[in-house]
Every structure is written in C-alpha cells, then in structure tokens.
Amino acid sequence: MIELEHVSRRFGEQLAVDDVSLSVARGTITVIVGTSGSGKSTTLRMINRLIEPSSGTIRIDGKDTAAVPGEELRRGIGYVIQGNGLFPHWTVARNIATVPTLLGWEAGRTEKRVDELLSLFSMRSEDFAKKFPHQLSGGEQQRVGVARALAAEPGLLLMDEPFGALDPIIRAKAQEDLLAVQRRLGITVVLVTHDMEEAIHLGHKIAVMDGGKLLQYAPPAEILANPAHGFVERLVNGVDRPFRLLSLSTVATIVEPGTADGPPLAETATLRDALSELLWLKRDALPVAGPDGSLIGRVSLAALRAHAGGPA
C-alpha cells in the first residue's frame, strides 16, 4: 500500500532521513523503532506530507503523494500523536466528528459514524458523547484520539508515539485495543515508537532506524533471531530476549494431549504468558482451553523448554 523509494530529508546541513526505501503491505501494522533523533518521526510525517521529502518518492496505492495536494492527501489518512491532540473545549462527539465535518458529511451520517466508533472502542455513546476531554481518563482520551483518526474511514492510519504518555497498565490495554480494531477493520497502520517491546508486540514488520538510516526491516521473529550487526543487535540483545521470542508464538503451537490441574490457559495466549502462569502457580503443566472454553489439552514447562531450544 505504501512505498518509500530512496527518500531523504535535510534540515539545513543535517540529514535527518538518509536514503530510506521500504514497502508496507496493505492490512498490516508496520512499526518504525529507534532512539530520539533516529529519523523515525520525520519518516512517518513524510508519508502524509506534514514534512516534505528533500528527495525520493513516496507512493500510496501506487500514486505519487507529491501529485496530490497536501490537505487532500491528509484528509484520507488517519493521524494520531502522543497526547491525542484533542480539542479541549469540544465534546467527545465533536472531536470524533472533526474530519467528517470538514468533508461536508451530512449530520445524520456523521452522528452514526461517531456512535459506531464509540461502540467499537467499548464507550457507550450515552455515557461519553457529551463529555469533554478533561473528564476522561488517559486511556479513554487515547481511544477518542484513535476514533477521531478513523472517523472518515481511512485505509491508512499513522501513529506517532501514540502510547508514550500512558502508564504501563493503560498502555497495554491501548495496544490491545489497537490490535483488535486493526484486525476488525483491516486498516494499514504505520506506528512510531522508541520501545522495542511495543514494536515486537504490535508489528507485522519492524523498521529499525538510527542516524537517519534504515538498518533492518523484517518481521519481529527475524529481527530477534538474526538482528543486523551493530545497533540492531544491541537493541534486541539482553536478558529478556528469550522471553521476547516466546511472546511471538501462542500456546496453540505447543499444546499437547493430556490433562492438568489448575486454571486453563487460552490457546491464543502467548508462550510468554504461559511461562509466567506456570512459574507463578508453581506448576509443571496447565490445561489449555479452546475458543469455546472446552479443554483441548495441556501446556507444560518441558514443552516450553523444548520450544525455546533448551533441555527438556
């Protein structure tokens, strides 16, 4: 859906983005990760031309974005920033309706879309539509910010450090909300973060940047198993690397016949979650439940060790 071809951006003498080329597949989440000053946010903002490339070409659906007026381009792309950027004196409903109103949608269509999005984010319209941003929690504000970005039904959503200001518990919930909405709507998401853990959890592919250069662009499992030498290697190495690898597979991949005592794990739980539960409950195995709640087998510490390549 998105193609960046030899894209660079200079600010005076500084080369903020240096000859970046990558393609983003439709209906996927791509995460651009790097430290401050790596060029990740500048790369994101060049996609919707909030920042113009100094050189190179960016195409969306095969069309050169430089051939589309910037305002028109941005109206077709959802955009979410850290801190949400909600208008403080507007209600939740009016905030969400911002772009449809600019596009001249009929009032009835806009109201219906606001209700749909509030429902999508498990926020009852009668409870939230007339509230103001200061009356919402941080997580609720974040959901409204994403809902506003999706209001005009864009096929592409850009997110610049969207969860950076949230505390860890709310942040984890916001990440799960994003994954659920992305699966349900099938939208294409490009998200910027400095958090490798977040990148691994959310991304179908991860673009690692440093010093304006794209160092590696690959699925999370490949980056963890075969990181590019140097910066990427340092970024993913550490004591928690095996646990990050476990977070990429689900219990369904190693469920085995048999029974076990204890609370069942969902087959969709990650192997990292399974290991956590087994160690917390001090058990060698736990039962596994399928989508309908029926028990389909068990998961054991021995199977987890074997999967991770350790001694069974």
Which whole number is the average pLDDT over 192-214? 92
- Which among 86, 85, 97, 224 has a CA at the least distance from the CA of 150? 97
User: What is the overall mean pLDDT for the chain?
Assistant: 89
Which whole number is the average pLDDT over 157-182? 85
pLDDT at position 312 is 41
Helices 138-150 and 168-185 pack at an angle, to 10 degrees, of 20
pTM above 0.85, yes or no: no
pLDDT digits (tens, 9 = 90+) for 48-89: 999 999 999 999 999 999 999 988 898 889 998 876 788 999
Residue 137: band (very low, low, confident or very high) from pLDDT cuts 50, 70, 90: confident
Residue 291 Rama label (left phi>0; alpha psi -120 to 50; beta)? alpha
Q: Are 299 and 286 in contact (CB under 8 A)?
A: yes
CA distances from 297 to 29, 184, 268 (A): 32, 29, 13
Q: Are 34 and 208 in contact (CB under 8 A)?
A: yes
pLDDT at position 311 is 43
CA dihedral 111→113→119→120, nearest 10 degrees, is -160
Q: Which residues pair with 15 in a beta bridge?
A: 10
Between 171 and 18, the higher pLDDT residue = 18
Three-class HEC string of the chain: CEEEEEEEEEECCEEEEEEEEEEECCCCEEEEECCCCCCHHHHHHHHCCCCCCCEEEEEECCEEHHHCCHHHHHHCEEEEECCCCCCCCCCHHHHHCHHHHHCCCCHHHHHHHHHHHHHHCCCCHHHHCCCCHHHCCHHHHHHHHHHHHHCCCCCEEEEECCCCCCCHHHHHHHHHHHHHHHHHHCCEEEEEECCHHHHHHHCCEEEEEECCEEEEEECHHHHHHCCCCCHHHHHHCCCCHHHHHHCCCEHHHCCECCCCCCCCEECCCEHHHHHHHHHHHCCCEEEEECCCCCEEEEEEHHHHHHHCCCCC
pLDDT at position 153 is 87
Q: Is the pLDDT of residue 207 over 50?
A: yes
Q: Is the pLDDT of residue 36 over 50?
A: yes
User: What sign does the CA torsion over 106, 184, 209, 5 have?
Assistant: negative
Q: Are 191 and 29 in contact (CB under 8 A)?
A: yes
Domains in the chain and their CATH numbers?
A: 2-239 (3.40.50.300), 249-307 (3.10.580.10)
